[in-house]
Amino acid sequence: PEVKYLKDYRPPAYWIDNTELNFDLQETNTLVKSVLNIRRNNDLSDKTIPLVLDGKNLELLFVKIDKKHLDSDKYQINSENLTIYDVPESFSLEVTTKIQPQNNTSLEGLYKAGGIFCTQCEAEGFRKITYFPDRPDVMSKYSCTITADREKYPILLSNGNLINSGMTDQNRHWAQWEDPFKKPSYLFALVAGDLVYIEDFYKTKSGRSVTLRIYVEHMNIDKCGHAMQSLKKAMKWDEDVFGLEYDLDIYMIVAVNDFNMGAMENKGLNIFNSKYVLAKPETATDIDFWNIERVIAHEYFHNWTGNRVTLKNWFQLSLKEGLTVFRDQEFSSDMTSRPVKRISDVRSLRSFQFPEDAGPMAHPVRPESYIEMDNFYTMTVYEKGAEIIRMIHRILGKQGFRKGMNLYFKRHDGQAVTTEDFVKAMEDANQADLRQFRLWYSQAGTPEISVKRAYNHKNKTYSMTFTQKCPPSPGMSEKKAMHIPVAVGLLDKAGNDMPLQLAGQDKPEGTTILLNLYKTTQTFEFVNVYEPPVPSILRGFSAPVKLRAEYTSREQAFLLANDSDEFHRWDSGQRFFAGTMINMVQGKIKNHDPDVLGAIIEPFRKTLLSTELDKAFISHVLTLPSESELGILISETAPIDPELIHQVRRFITHAIAKALKNDFERIYQDNQEKGLYNIDAESIARRSLKNLALSYLGMLETPEIIKIACNQFNKAENMTDEIAALGVLSHIQCSEREKAIDDFYQKWKSDTLVLDKWFAIQAGSQIPGIIDKIKELLNHPDFSIKNPNKVRALVSSFCGMNPWQFHHISGNGYKFMTDRILELNAINPQIAARMAGIFNHWKKYEPSRQKLMKAELEKIINTPDISRHVYEIVSKALV
Ligand code: B3K
Ligand code: ZN
């Protein structure tokens, strides 16, 4: 397959000023007529370049230039393009094509699923709808007319404003939409279906009234309220924080069940995976509520960062995604709790992005090349991209960052630009120098920082020497030193923050300082340090790096108890717990050593019983590093043995549960729902602590605990409590487990999103041999391999939530996965490629598992008709 390179980027040879689309939606064939106003790009010296349009799986019916039929010797078609030679300097092109959305299982382009027609065009799906220069730097004004059966598809939507509508005959109706803003083809959208909506209004800061609508299937009309509230909060937040106002008169969101990812920011017409829209307390968990708020905001924020200012080419994806993730993270922090949000974001960065950056798919935040763009919607582009923006924010300060954003929009509104343009605007607005900082965009791999510290009793000085290095990554063995902002504080013996004064400063400046590393090795000296401090390094996770600070476990426990930076406090706790477990896995300490257990249990108990700490924070501290997280840490120095890790972690959680049984029981009782169910941050925190206590108690597997869990399960009036109790039961082999699983199914069998939870809980069950149950569930009437949510619920949860059984030494987990990947390869290559990524880290495992995984990779790559998507992932893994 062809590799595309950033260095080969050329501006388009033709511009499309207007795009007029006409869809005739039918049950078997859909006709798409497009009329394009085309103009040669006169900036290019060569005036003879033919017009090359992208198109895939299209049946071409007619081509007309300036209303005249074009003879077939004037153009050429192959499986990827329509090429027309000798075109005038400016002209109108009419193309009519035939497609079959009802057979389109890739869920890309125009597809029909669950009786609804909808589109997904990003990144390169528009070419499955009609011939077009399907690249983000060709921006055009769209109008779109949709004709369809009135009974089956009463709702017809596209981007922008409704201009006109009517009937063509008794049974068919039409609607014409027009989007006044120029946009790239990836932001085009169309929806036709039997939907209903809720409506609300938002008054913008300049006083315009915007109509807000959320369209769903009839039975879900009672689950839209939270999404609507989230949208209004996001609109207000973007005005308050960035001065950004919505620009059309209507904003529409449509929820569909069959969707490859979370949601899509099409101009004025967002299409969402229903998972990120639908919620009521009975069906959605607290986490679901938060995720909905976050994703609704994310797609809304794209209206400025992505749509008004878009991408010059797909290599710049992080320009919109990194920035928009940063914006949604800030929004969520303001809506909930900043430290808790930071903790969960860093947890996921380390669990998914760090391994990606250390594996065969490692790529810079601005990639240099790709085979299939869909494979580059990665944690690196999104989450590491957001970390880059966060560092800029930290370096320039809140005001400076805002000035940079203002300049960015002033310069580039209505344009297709690059990450370079963004950084330049930040620099120019602040007279800052980010030259070295730009390496964050071009160098892959997670930098590692080690710290040497020394206290000088005589001079009362304290020095910290930082050394940075960045490991090699595919295609780049040598890395340059980067500009890394490291936030540091110093704690005295009593656990208080010391005032910080660097040598050369005439007075102390605060208790957290931002040290900017530029060189491979760099020393900072603090003066007037009255006693040997314990340093708190990388406060707030000020840079996406691996810190090798070589803390003693005593220091870690001290920081866990005292650090004023909550992120670092949590981080110290995690390192402390992880360190002990890893030592056990590696046989450096004995499991049953009572001192070792005591050393873990005491700080654990203190945190659990703290009355001063926020309950959400406590739950995070007491959620021990998962088996996967432990595996990642171990893999930095030794091969992973999932069996050993499982045993140690299970042993430790069991020991904690046993030692603190009474405390957990009390916490469980004290945090029961008082009064009415609420989704404010405090109630959510209370539920999470209560359910954490229940899950520890569940480790004891006693009849008494089973009873408590059953009781919670049966009485629960909200999904958070119901699913937490089911989760606890799902790991215990008992008749109550089977009954609860059946009852849950009977209760929720008509709610497809709740059933996803039912599949996922079973896939994550720690009961040995669960894979047989999962195979059985593949044939369950409510499972469908064509529905990505179902695949994620049953198949991905098994690999992600159940690493111990997935990596079973029999290799059965691996074979199961390969079968699914090959099955999906023919149905939905995007999802198949995502699944294939689970074998990326095969080299990090002990030799027998390595061998087994390698064999699976080889089997996949040797299968005929493997998609480009899967090929790219698997071939890179095998290098
Ligand atoms: N921009 C979309 C992602 C599109 C993925 C295409 N394979 C959602 C988002 O990031 O907001
Ligand atoms: Zn996005």
Q: Which two tokens stand for residue 244?
A: 């950004």
Best CA proximity match to 310, nearest among 140, 434, 440? 140
List beta partners, residue 26: none
Residue with the smallest CA separation from ligand 1 atom 10 is: 321
Nearby residues of 445 by Cβ (< 8 Å), 6 or more positions away: 357, 358, 362, 470, 471, 472, 473, 476, 479
Q: Is ligand 1 within 6 A of the CB of residue 123?
A: yes
Best CA proximity match to 257, nearest among 761, 798, 745, 751? 751
Q: What is 658-696 written as a DSSP string?
A: HHTHHHHHHHHHHTS--SS---SHHHHHHHHHHHHHHHH
Listed as ranges, residues in the chain with pLDDT below 70 are none
Distance CA 319, CA 426 (A): 13
**Ligand 2 centroid to residue 626 C-alpha, Å:** 28
At 163 the pLDDT is: 98
Q: Which CATH class name applies to 4-194? A: mainly beta
CA distances from 651 to 589, 598, 699 (A): 14, 14, 10
Ligand 1, pocket-test mutation among 377, 830, 831, 872, most atoms within 8 A of CB: 377
Q: Is ligand 1 within 6 A of the CB of residue 497?
A: no
**Ligand 2 centroid to residue 686 C-alpha, Å:** 31
Ramachandran angles phi, psi of 442, nearest 5°: -110, -15
Maximum distance among all Cα pairs of the chain, rounded to whole angstroms: 95
Distance CA 591, CA 596 (A): 8
Integer-rounded Cα Rg, in Å, for the chain is 28
Convert the pLDDT of each residue in 9-38 to its tens digit: 999 999 999 999 999 999 999 999 999 999
Selecting among 299, 330, 387, 566, the annotated active-site residue is 299
Domain 310-442 and domain 448-543, same fold? Reply is: no
Q: What is 96-147 written as a DSSP string?
A: EEEE-GGG-TT--EEEEETTEEEEE-TTTTGGGTS-B--STT--EEEEEEEE
Ligand 1, pocket-test mutation among 119, 261, 873, most atoms within 8 A of CB: 261
Instruction: Assign 77 to helix, strand or coil.
Output: strand
Distance CA 442, CA 367 (A): 7
Q: Report whether 725 contacts 710 (CB < 8 A).
A: yes
Residue with the smallest CA separation from ligand 1 atom 7 is: 374
Residue with the smallest CA separation from ligand 1 atom 4 is: 122
* C-alpha atoms less than 13 angstroms from C-alpha of 850 in its C-beta half-sphere: 8
Pick the CATH number of 448-543 from 2.60.40.1840, 1.10.10.10, 3.40.50.720, 1.10.540.10: 2.60.40.1840
Best CA proximity match to 375, nearest among 795, 842, 873, 858? 873
Distance CA 692, CA 593 (A): 26
Residue with the smallest CA separation from ligand 1 atom 3 is: 264
Best CA proximity match to 141, nearest among 306, 45, 223, 19? 19
Distance CA 318, CA 417 (A): 11
* 368 counts as catalytic: no
Which residue is it, tokens 């939870």?
757
Residues within 5 Å of ion ligand 2 by Cβ? 321, 324
Q: Is ligand 1 within 6 A of the CB of residue 356?
A: no
**Ligand 2 centroid to residue 321 C-alpha, Å:** 5
Q: Report whether 760 contacts 795 (CB < 8 A).
A: no
Best CA proximity match to 623, nearest among 330, 284, 340? 340
Q: Report whether 264 contacts 122 (CB < 8 A).
A: yes
CATH fold label, 310-442 = Neutral Protease; domain 2 (1.10.390)
Best CA proximity match to 191, nearest among 155, 151, 219, 147? 155
Measured from the Cβ of residue 13, the count of other Cβ atoms closer than 10 Å reads 18
**Element holding 341 (H helix, E strand):** helix 338-348
Distance CA 16, CA 36 (A): 6
Residue with the smallest CA separation from ligand 1 atom 2 is: 264
Ramachandran angles phi, psi of 114, nearest 5°: 55, 35
Q: Report whether 227 contacts 214 (CB < 8 A).
A: yes
pTM: 0.99
Distance CA 488, CA 565 (A): 10
Convert the pLDDT of each residue in 309-335 to its tens digit: 999 999 999 999 999 999 999 999 999
Q: Which two tokens stand for residue 639?
A: 């091969």
In the chain, what are the domain boundaries?
4-194, 310-442, 448-543
Nearby residues of 675 by Cβ (< 8 Å), 6 or more positions away: none
Which residue is it, tokens 């008494």?
704
Distance CA 331, CA 311 (A): 23
Would you call the peptide bond into 549 cis, given omega within 30 degrees of 0 as the criterion? no
**Ligand 1 centroid to residue 793 C-alpha, Å:** 20
Instruction: Assign 782 to helix, strand or coil.
Output: coil
Q: Which long-range contacts (CB under 8 A, 24 or more apart) does 475-479 make?
A: 475/368, 476/443, 476/444, 476/445, 479/443, 479/445, 479/447
Q: Report whether 132 contacts 185 (CB < 8 A).
A: yes
Q: Is ligand 1 within 6 A of the CB of residue 358?
A: no
Instruction: Assign 623 to helix, strand or coil.
Output: coil
Ramachandran angles phi, psi of 244, nearest 5°: -100, 130
**Ligand 1 centroid to residue 380 C-alpha, Å:** 14
At 304 the pLDDT is: 99
Question: Which ligand ends up closest to the CA of 373?
Answer: 1
Chain centroid, CA 569 distance in Å: 25
Measured from the Cβ of residue 715, the count of other Cβ atoms closer than 10 Å reads 10
Distance CA 748, CA 771 (A): 23
Instruction: Assign 300 to helix, strand or coil.
Output: helix
Can you tell me which atom of ligand 1 is nearest the CA of 295? 11
Q: Which two tokens stand for residue 412?
A: 């580039």
Distance CA 557, CA 750 (A): 49
